[in-house]
Amino acid sequence: MKTLTDPSLPTQPPAELLEALNYCRRPLIIAHLAPDGDAIGSLLALGHMLHRLGKDPILACQDPPPASLRFLPGSDRITNDVRDYAVDQIIAVDSSDPTRMGSIYDPGEHKNLPLLVIDHHVTNVAFGQINWVEPATAATAQMMYDLALALDIEIDTDLATCMLTGMVTDTRGFRTNNTTARVLDIAAALMQAGASLNRIMERTLNSHSFNLIQLWGRALETVEFDRGVIHATNSLVMREGLDGIVRPEGLTSFILGAYEAKAAVVFTELPENKVECSFRARPGQNIAEVAFALGGGGHPLAAGCTISGMLPEIKELVLSRLIEQVLSS
Amino acid sequence: MKTLTDPSLPTQPPAELLEALNYCRRPLIIAHLAPDGDAIGSLLALGHMLHRLGKDPILACQDPPPASLRFLPGSDRITNDVRDYAVDQIIAVDSSDPTRMGSIYDPGEHKNLPLLVIDHHVTNVAFGQINWVEPATAATAQMMYDLALALDIEIDTDLATCMLTGMVTDTRGFRTNNTTARVLDIAAALMQAGASLNRIMERTLNSHSFNLIQLWGRALETVEFDRGVIHATNSLVMREGLDGIVRPEGLTSFILGAYEAKAAVVFTELPENKVECSFRARPGQNIAEVAFALGGGGHPLAAGCTISGMLPEIKELVLSRLIEQVLSS
C-alpha cells in the first residue's frame, strides 16, 4: 500500500510534468467549476509562474470567481470562453475528475492535446496523461508553492497572495485537521514574501452578504437538539425576500460547535420537493455512512445528500438515521 | 519615541526578570479575572516552566477557566484561594493594570513581595517592580515561547499546547492584524513539539453553548443596515429561557463581515436600564473615538461602552454617532 507523502517535506512534481511545463508555449489552465479559493488561487498562481517562464497561459473557469476572490491579482484575466485561443496543452488544477472542468474542456478541440492534472484530492481519478496528485497536502495551492521551489521561481507578492489564499480557504483559516506544521511554515514564508494574511482572512473568511446574515438568523430560529444531533432548517419560505441565496454557508459547522453536539445537519428545502442535507460531525463519528445510505456521499466528518420528498418527512427520516449512528458510535 | 520591537525577532526578557524567576522558590502566578485563552495558556505555560526549573509555583485566577479551556494540561491546578500559601514572589500575566488581578492580589499580604509583570497589552501601566511588556507580540503566550528560549527550557507537548492555545485564541485563529510571519513560525514549532492545532481550534474557537446559538438566532432576527453601519440588538426579553448567557459572543465580528459594512455594533440590554455597546470596524475606521465620547474605550477597530438609559434612545444616539463617524472617514 502506498503511504501518503511525509507532510513535513516539500512534495516533488514528477520530472515529466516539469518537462511538459517547460515545453508548452500557450497552455490552457482550467480551474474547476463553481470555483473556490483554492481553485482560483492555484489557477492564478500557476498562470503567474508560467508567465514568468515566458509562456502565454490562458486562464479559464466555467464560472466566474466569487466576489470575495476578485481582489486576487490576475483574477480579471480569467475567461469562460476559450474558443478563439489556439492552445497547445491543457492543465486541470484542483479538479478530481474531468467533469469538474465543465464547459471549458471541449473534447472535440482538446482531446489530442497533452492533459496535465495537478490536484490534492484523495478522490482524484488520474484523468490526465500526467497526473500529479498529493492527497497529504492541505490545498492544491500548497503544491503550487512546491512547484515554485522545483522550478526555482522567486515568489513575489502577487504569487504569494494567490498561494496563501488557496491555503487559507481550503483549510478554513488553518482549522482543518490536515493543517500541518509545514502548512504554517509555508504560510509564514508567503507572508515574508509580501502576502497579507489579515487581508486574505478578511476578504475570504469574514465576508458575506447581508442576505446570508439574515438567512442565518432565520435558520437559527429553528435550531433544535436531540440526543447528540443538532439541526436547523432553511425552508423556501425563509428565503422569501433574500434574492440570490440558497444555502446558509457555514451554518452547519457553526451549530456543530455546540458543546453537546456530536453531529449536525442543516436541511435546505429546494423547489420541486427536494431537500438538501448538509452533515458535519466531530472526530470519532462517521456520517458518510448515513449520507451514502441516503444516496449521497462525502467524508466521515463532512457529507451530504439530496432527497426527494416533503420537508417534514425527510427531516424525520434523516434525524432518526443520524441519531441511531451517533448513539451506536 | 520608542519603536515597537521588530516582530520578526524573538523578544528578550529583561535580565532582572530572568534573575528573579531563577531566585524565587514559591511564586504566585496570577492570570487576569474573567480569563481568556491567553490568560490561562500563559498562566499554565509559566507554571510548567517554573516547575521545570525546580520551583513550586501557585497558579491562581479569581474566576475559573471557561469550560472550553479545561482540556489544557494543568488547568485543574488553578485555584482562586491562595490564603494558605506562603509565597515569595508575585507574577501577573496578561494583566494590563493591578485591578485585573482581582481578588487574588491581597495588598495586605502581598505588598512587600516582588511584583513581576509579563504582558503584551499596549495599555499596560507597568505596575510591577519588573515590567516585561511587548506590545508588538500577538499574545502573552508568544512571550512565554520567547521566555522558554531565553531560559533554555525544552518545549514538550503540554507546554506547546498551552502556548499555542494562548496564541490561537488571542489572534482569533490567526485572523488579527498583529498575526505576523513569526507568529506562524512559532505555531509551526509548537506543532512540531506536539501541540494539536486542530484540537485547539475546535475546543476554543468552535465551541459554544446551545444557548449561545439560540441567542445568536434571536439577535440576528433584528439585524439592520444603515449607511455603512450594521447593527443587532440583544434585549433582556430575548434572553428569557436562556440561562447563564448575557452576550452573543462573536456576533459583532460576524455581522461586520457583511460586504457593505464599515462598522458594526451589537446592543446588549442589561438590567436597571443599562445598555452595553460592542463596536467593531474595518481597517481605516476609528470607532474608539465614538466609544470614548460615550464614556467607553478601546482600540480603533474594537471598542465598547456602557450607557445608562432606555434601549431605543441609546440605539438612536449611538447609531447617529457611528454613522457620522463612518461617513466622515
**Tell me: the pLDDT tens digits for B44-94?**
999 999 999 999 999 999 999 998 899 999 999 999 999 999 999 999 999
Q: Label residue A3 by pLDDT band (50, 70, 90).
A: very low
A15-19, A159-163, A283-287: least confident range: A283-287
Q: Which residues of B touch A184 (CB under 8 A)?
A: 184-185, 187-188, 191, 197
Record: contact A182-B173, CB cut-off 8 A: no
Query: Which pLDDT score, from 0 to 100, does residue B305 have?
Result: 93
What order do you get walking across the sheet with A297-298 strand by strand? A224-226, A229-234, A263-270, A274-281, A302-308, A297-298
The H or E element containing residue A263 is strand A263-270
pLDDT in tens, A118-174: 999 888 999 999 999 999 999 999 999 999 999 999 999 999 999 999 999 999 999
Distance in Å, alpha carbon of A10 to nearest chain B alpha carbon? 15
Give buried/exposed letters for B220-250 (b at 16+ CB in 10 A, else e): beebebeebbbbbbbeeebbeebeebebbee
Query: Chain A: residue nearest B229 by CA?
Result: A210
Record: contact B174-A191, CB cut-off 8 A: no
Q: Label residue B6 by pLDDT band (50, 70, 90).
A: low
Put simply, whether A188 touches B (Cβ < 8 Å) is yes
Q: What is the average per-residue pLDDT within A53-78?
A: 96
Put simply, whether B191 touches A (Cβ < 8 Å) is yes
Query: Which pLDDT score, from 0 to 100, does residue B260 have?
Result: 87
Q: Which residues of A touch B71 (CB under 8 A)?
A: none
Is the CATH code 3.90.1640.10 the one for domain B15-204?
A: yes
Q: Which residues of B touch A213 (CB under 8 A)?
A: 220, 223, 230, 254-255, 257-258
Residue B2 reports pLDDT greater than 80: no
Residue A200 reports pLDDT greater than 80: yes
Query: Which pLDDT score, from 0 to 100, does residue A268 have?
Result: 97
pLDDT in tens, B98-134: 999 999 999 999 999 999 999 998 889 999 999 999 9
Q: What is the average per-residue pLDDT within A15-32?
A: 98
Query: Which pLDDT score, from 0 to 100, does residue A176 have?
Result: 86
Q: What is the average per-residue pLDDT within B234-254?
A: 92
Cell numbers given for A36: 473556490
Record: contact B184-A206, CB cut-off 8 A: no
Q: What count of CB pairs under 8 Å joins A to B?
A: 129
Query: Which pLDDT score, from 0 to 100, does residue A122 have?
Result: 83
A-proximal residues of B, 236-295, CB under 8 Å: 253-260, 282
Of B67, B217, B257, the CB nearest to A223: B217
Query: Which pLDDT score, from 0 to 100, does residue B67 have?
Result: 87
Put simply, whether A211 touches B (Cβ < 8 Å) is no
B interface test, pick of A177, A178, A190, A197 with most B CB neighbours within 10 Å: A197
Q: Label residue A2 by pLDDT band (50, 70, 90).
A: very low
Of B179, B230, B257, the CB nearest to A207: B257
Query: Which pLDDT score, from 0 to 100, does residue A8 have?
Result: 77
CA distance A35 to A47: 16
Of A188, A189, A217, the CB nearest to B221: A217
Of B173, B205, B217, the CB nearest to A217: B217
User: In this structure, are strands A302-308 and A297-298 parallel, antiparallel, or unpaired?
Assistant: antiparallel
Query: Which pLDDT score, from 0 to 100, does residue B3 have?
Result: 46
Those residues whose C-beta lies under 8 Å from the C-beta of residue A201, and which sit 6 or more positions away, are A168, A173, B174, B175
Residue A259 reports pLDDT greater than 80: yes
Query: Which pLDDT score, from 0 to 100, does residue A5 have?
Result: 56
Record: contact A188-B191, CB cut-off 8 A: no
Record: contact B198-A180, CB cut-off 8 A: no
Q: What is the CA angle A93-A134-A39, rounded to 5?
A: 25
Cell numbers given for A240: 422569501
Distance in Å, alpha carbon of A179 to nearest chain B alpha carbon? 7
Asked if B30 and B47 count as a contact pair (C-beta separation under 8 A), the reply is no
Q: Label residue A6 by pLDDT band (50, 70, 90).
A: low
Query: Which pLDDT score, from 0 to 100, does residue A61 have?
Result: 98
Determine the CATH number of domain A211-327.
3.10.310.30
Query: Which pLDDT score, from 0 to 100, does residue A299 have?
Result: 77
Query: Which pLDDT score, from 0 to 100, does residue B5 have?
Result: 56
- Domain boundaries of chain A, sorted by first residue: 15-204, 211-327
CA distance A58 to B259: 30
Task: Tally Cβ neighbours within 10 Å of residue A6.
Answer: 11
Put simply, whether B201 touches A (Cβ < 8 Å) is yes
Cell numbers given for A308: 426527494
Residue B176 reports pLDDT greater than 90: no
CA distance B23 to A67: 58
Cell numbers given for B68: 472550553
Nearest to B218 by CA among B244, B260, B251: B251
pLDDT in tens, A217-231: 999 999 999 999 999
The H or E element containing residue A192 is helix A181-192
Record: contact A220-B223, CB cut-off 8 A: no
Q: Which residues of A touch B187 (CB under 8 A)?
A: 184
Record: contact A181-B198, CB cut-off 8 A: no
Record: contact A259-B208, CB cut-off 8 A: yes
CA distance A285 to B210: 20
pLDDT in tens, B189-198: 999 999 999 9
A interface test, pick of B182, B190, B204, B213 with most A CB neighbours within 10 Å: B213
Put simply, whether A187 touches B (Cβ < 8 Å) is yes
Q: Label residue A319 by pLDDT band (50, 70, 90).
A: very high
B interface test, pick of A167, A190, A201 with most B CB neighbours within 10 Å: A201
CA distance A100 to A319: 31
Q: Label residue A26 by pLDDT band (50, 70, 90).
A: very high
What's the topology of domain B210-328? Diaminopimelate Epimerase; Chain A, domain 1 (3.10.310)
